[in-house]
C-alpha cells in the first residue's frame, strides 16, 4: 500500500481514496437506486426486493423479512461499490430494532454508517428509549425468530423494565479499528489484521 502521509489520500489496492472533500451523504433507499438499479424503492414491497435479489443471484428464504432481503442486497451488491467515504443514513425502522425513530418520519430511524472502500467503518444510532415502541419491535423480532430468522434481537424483559423506569436520551457509535487497519494496509481479508482471528467451527464441532 502507498500512503500519502501528511496529505488527504491513501491508495488501497487499485483504489485511490480521498479524504479531502466533504463526505457524500446518501439515504439507504438512494443506495439501492444507484447501485442495484431499483426504481421507486420507497414503495417497493418484500416481493419486489425478493425478485431483485434473485435476479442478482442472491438466495432468498421464505422466512426472511423485507429488511433482511434488503440488507443482503446492500451488503453483497451495493456496499462493495461504495469506494469513496460515504455516510449512509435514513434506514427503515425494521433495519435496527434498538434504534430511535426520526422525529420527522417515524418510518425511518436515526442511524448512519460510514462506508469506505466497500467496508463499514462506523455504525451509529440514537438509542430507542420508548418502552412501548421497543416492546412492539421486540415482538416483531420474536415472530421473525419463530419463522426461522436467526439474526434477531429477541425480547428482553429486564431491559424493557429498566426502560420503563426512565431511560434518558442516548446514542452510540462503533468504529471498526480493524476496518481502518485494512484500509491502511491494503488488506482484503479481515483475518489478515487480527492477531487471533476467530475461526468458524467445522460441522459437528463446538469450537472449543
Look up the pTM and report it.
0.83
Mean pLDDT by 10 residues, the chain (208 residues): 61 86 95 94 93 96 92 96 96 92 94 94 94 94 88 90 91 88 80 72 52
Q: What is the DSSP string of 45-81?
A: -HHHHHHHHHHTT----TT--HHHHHHHHIIIIIGGG
**Which of 22, 21, 19, 23 lies closest to 9, judged by CA?**
19
Q: Does domain 2-187 have CATH number 3.30.930.10?
A: yes
Mean of the per-residue pLDDT values for the chain?
Answer: 88
Asked if 23 and 86 touch (Cβ cutoff 8 Å), the reply is: yes
C-alpha cell belonging to residue 141? 423480532
Residue 176: the pLDDT is: 83
Amino acid at each position: 500500500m502507498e500512503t500519502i502521509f501528511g496529505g488527504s489520500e491513501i491508495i488501497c489496492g487499485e483504489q485511490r481514496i480521498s479524504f479531502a472533500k466533504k463526505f457524500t451523504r446518501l439515504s439507504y433507499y438512494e443506495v439501492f437506486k444507484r447501485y442495484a438499479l431499483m426504481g421507486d424503492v420507497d414503495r417497493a414491497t418484500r416481493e419486489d426486493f425478493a425478485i431483485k435479489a434473485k435476479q442478482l443471484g442472491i438466495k432468498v428464504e421464505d422466512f426472511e423479512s423485507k429488511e433482511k432481503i434488503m440488507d443482503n442486497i446492500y451488503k453483497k451488491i451495493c456496499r462493495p461499490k461504495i469506494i469513496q467515504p460515504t455516510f449512509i443514513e435514513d434506514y427503515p425502522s425494521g433495519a435496527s430494532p434498538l434504534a430511535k425513530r426520526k422525529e420527522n418520519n417515524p418510518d425511518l430511524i436515526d442511524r448512519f454508517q460510514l462506508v469506505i472502500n466497500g467496508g463499514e467503518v462506523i455504525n451509529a444510532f440514537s438509542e430507542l428509549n420508548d418502552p412501548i415502541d421497543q416492546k412492539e419491535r421486540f415482538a416483531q423480532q420474536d415472530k421473525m425468530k419463530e419463522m426461522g430468522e436467526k439474526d434477531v434481537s429477541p425480547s428482553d424483559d429486564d431491559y424493557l423494565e429498566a426502560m420503563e423506569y426512565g431511560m434518558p436520551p442516548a446514542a452510540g457509535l462503533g468504529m471498526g479499528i480493524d476496518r481502518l487497519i485494512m484500509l491502511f494496509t491494503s488488506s482484503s481479508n479481515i483475518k489478515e489484521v487480527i492477531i487471533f482471528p476467530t475461526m468458524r467451527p467445522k460441522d459437528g464441532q463446538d469450537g472449543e
